[in-house]
C-alpha cells in the first residue's frame, strides 16, 4: 500500500496545549495509511520527545507571523525570515515527496505558503482565537485579514471549539470543522500512600486545601487574579494554598514581577506553591482539591477536561470554549468574570459543599469520557485528512 506522506508543522519545540494535542495526533494516527514527518523551528523538549519516538524530524527557522501584542515590530523583522523559511520548506517537500502539509496553530504561516507554492493540500489546525479582542494572535489593523489568509491558504481548517469557529466570517465556515481534543481515559489515580509522597515533595500539610492553576504564567491565564482571590480567602481560612503549575517565560517578566509584588504585599509567601513546568501533570491533579481556570480567553480549555477526567472539581471563567465543556452547576462552576471577589466566593462555596463537589466530579467525569475520547478525535481528524486528499486527487 502506498502511504500518504504527511508533514506536520509545529509552531514550537516546547510543550503547551496545542503541542500536546499534536503529540496525541501523531501518536495515534494510522501508520498503515500515513508516513509522518515533523517540522520544528528550533530544538526543544517537545522536539526531543518526538525524536525519541522514532519519528523523523527536521528543523527550519521560521517565526510567528502574528502576535498577541498590538503593533509588534517583531512581525516586520520576522517577515523576511518567514519567506526564506517557506522556500526552505518547499525544498524539503520536494526532496521527501510530501503529499500533504498540516500546520498546527495559526501562529506560523511558512508551511501554508510552501504548500501553496508546491500545489499540495494544506490543513490548518487552529487552536487560538483569531481576528478579535481577547487572546487574538494578531495586530489590530489585520484583524480582518488573518481569517481571509488562513481561508485562502487552506484546503480545510480544523478548530478546537465552536467559539474559535465563530472567529471566521460565515462565508468561510463551510471550510471549517470543529473537532474537540481527545484524551486517553486515565486509570485509577495514585494510591493514598503515593498521594502522601507527592504532598511531601511539594510541602503540603494534611489539612491544607490546594487550589491549582495550570498553564504558562501570563496575564491571559489569570494567576494574578487567583493570587488576589487567595488574599481574600486568607482573611477567613488559614488552610488554603494556591499552586501555580506552569513555565515562566522571559517575555512575561513584568507580569511575574507584578505577581511577586502581590504575594509580598499580602504576606502570601507561605501560601504559594510554584512548580514550574511539570511534564507529568497527573501528580498535580492528584493533590488538587479544585482546578481554577481564571482565563481572560480560552479557545478550548485542555486542563478543564483533564481535571474532569481525574476527578477534580473545576471553577472556570465563562469564556471561549469553556462553556462548551462545562455545564454550570452540573459538571463544574462557571463564573462570569475573573474578579478576585467572584473567584474567592466560588472557591469558598465549593469548599463548603463537599456533597455538591462530589456530585460535580461524578457527572463531569462521566461527561468527559463520553464526549472527549481519543478514538472519536482521531476518527474525525483522519476522516478530514482522507477527504481532503481524495478531493485533491480528483482535481489534479
Question: Residues 57, 37: contact at Cβ < 8 Å?
Answer: yes
Residue matched to cell numbers 504559594? 272
Question: Residues 238, 315: contact at Cβ < 8 Å?
Answer: no
Residues 288 and 204 in one domain: yes
The answer to whether residue 42 is domain-embedded is yes
Q: State how far the Cα of 83 lies from the Cα of 75, in Å rounded to an integer.
A: 12
Q: State how far the Cα of 111 lies from the Cα of 104, in Å rounded to an integer.
A: 10
Per-residue pLDDT, averaged over 374-386, amounts to: 97
CATH code (residue 93):
3.40.50.2000
Per-residue pLDDT, averaged over 59-67, amounts to: 90
Residues 146 and 261 in one domain: no
The answer to whether residue 49 is domain-embedded is yes
Residues 112 and 243 in one domain: no
H or E stretch covering 101: strand 100-104
What single-letter DSSP state applies at residue 206?
A: T
Question: Residues 9, 109: contact at Cβ < 8 Å?
Answer: no
pLDDT band at 71 (very low <50, low <70, confident <90, very high): low
pLDDT attached to residue 215: 94
The answer to whether residue 123 is domain-embedded is yes
Q: Which domain does 272 fall in, by range? A: 192-372
What are the φ/ψ torsions at residue 373 (nearest 5 degrees)? Answer: -75, 150
Number of domains in the chain: 2
Residues 18 and 162 in one domain: yes
The answer to whether residue 267 is domain-embedded is yes
Question: At residue 133, does pLDDT exceed 60?
Answer: no
Go through the chain and tell me how many residues it has.
396
Please indicate whether residue 392 or residue 311 has the higher confidence score (pLDDT).
311
Region of residue 291 (phi > 0: left; psi between -120 and 50: alpha; otherwise: beta):
beta
Residues 240 and 339 in one domain: yes
pLDDT band at 136 (very low <50, low <70, confident <90, very high): very low
H or E stretch covering 117: helix 110-118
Please indicate whether residue 191 or residue 106 has the higher confidence score (pLDDT).
106
Residues 167 and 232 in one domain: no
* Residue 184 Cα to chain centre, angstroms: 16
What single-letter DSSP state applies at residue 384?
A: H
Residues 13 and 39 in one domain: yes
Q: State how far the Cα of 133 lies from the Cα of 369, in Å rounded to an integer.
A: 32
The answer to whether residue 47 is domain-embedded is yes
Residues 17 and 166 in one domain: yes
Residues 158 and 204 in one domain: no
The answer to whether residue 187 is domain-embedded is no
Cell of 184: 486517553
Amino acid at each position: 500500500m502506498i502511504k500518504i506522506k504527511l508533514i506536520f508543522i509545529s509552531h514550537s519545540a516546547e510543550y503547551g496545549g496545542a503541542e500536546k494535542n499534536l503529540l496525541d495526533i501523531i501518536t495515534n494516527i494510522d501508520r498503515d495509511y500515513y508516513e509522518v514527518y515533523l517540522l520544528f523551528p528550533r530544538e526543544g523538549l517537545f522536539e526531543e520527545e518526538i525524536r525519541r519516538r522514532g519519528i523523523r524530524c527536521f528543523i527550519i527557522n521560521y517565526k510567528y507571523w502574528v502576535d498577541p501584542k498590538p503593533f509588534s515590530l517583531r512581525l516586520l523583522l520576522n517577515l523576511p525570515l518567514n519567506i526564506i523559511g517557506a522556500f526552505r520548506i518547499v525544498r524539503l517537500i520536494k526532496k521527501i515527496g510530501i503529499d500533504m502539509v498540516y500546520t498546527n496553530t495559526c501562529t506560523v504561516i511558512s508551511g501554508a505558503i510552501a504548500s501553496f507554492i508546491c500545489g499540495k493540500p494544506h490543513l490548518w489546525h487552529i487552536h487560538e482565537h483569531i481576528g478579535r479582542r481577547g487572546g487574538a494572535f494578531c495586530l489590530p489593523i489585520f484583524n480582518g485579514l488573518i481569517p481571509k489568509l488562513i481561508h485562502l491558504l487552506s484546503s480545510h481548517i480544523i478548530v478546537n471549539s465552536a467559539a474559535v469557529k465563530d472567529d471566521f466570517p460565515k462565508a468561510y465556515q463551510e471550510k471549517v470543522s470543529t473537532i474537540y481534543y481527545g484524551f486517553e481515559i486515565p486509570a485509577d489515580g495514585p494510591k493514598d500512600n503515593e498521594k502522601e509522597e507527592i504532598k511531601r515533595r511539594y510541602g503540603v500539610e494534611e489539612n491544607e486545601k490546594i487550589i491549582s492553576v495550570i498553564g504558562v504564567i501570563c496575564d491571559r491565564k489569570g494567576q494574578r487574579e487567583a493570587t488576589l482571590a487567595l488574599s481574600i480567602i486568607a482573611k477567613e481560612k488559614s488552610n488554603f494554598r494556591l499552586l501555580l503549575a506552569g513555565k515562566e517565560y522571559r517575555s512575561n517578566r513584568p507580569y511575574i514581577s507584578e505577581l511577586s509584588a502581590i504575594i509580598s504585599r499580602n504576606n502570601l509567601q507561605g501560601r504559594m506553591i510554584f512548580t514550574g513546568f511539570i511534564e507529568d501533570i497527573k501528580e498535580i491533579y492528584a493533590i488538587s482539591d479544585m482546578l481554577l481556570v481564571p482565563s481572560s480567553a480560552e479557545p478550548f480549555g485542555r486542563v478543564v477536561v483533564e481535571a474532569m477526567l481525574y476527578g477534580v472539581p473545576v471553577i472556570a471563567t465563562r469564556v471561549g470554549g469553556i462553556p462548551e465543556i462545562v455545564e454550570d452547576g452540573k459538571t463544574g462552576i462557571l463564573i462570569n468574570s475573573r474578579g478576585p471577589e467572584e473567584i474567592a466566593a466560588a472557591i469558598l462555596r465549593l469548599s463548603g459543599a463537599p456533597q455538591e463537589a462530589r456530585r460535580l466530579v461524578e457527572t463531569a467525569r462521566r461527561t468527559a469520557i463520553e464526549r472527549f475520547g481519543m478514538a472519536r478525535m482521531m476518527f474525525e481528524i483522519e476522516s478530514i485528512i482522507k477527504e481532503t486528499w481524495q478531493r485533491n486527487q480528483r482535481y489534479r
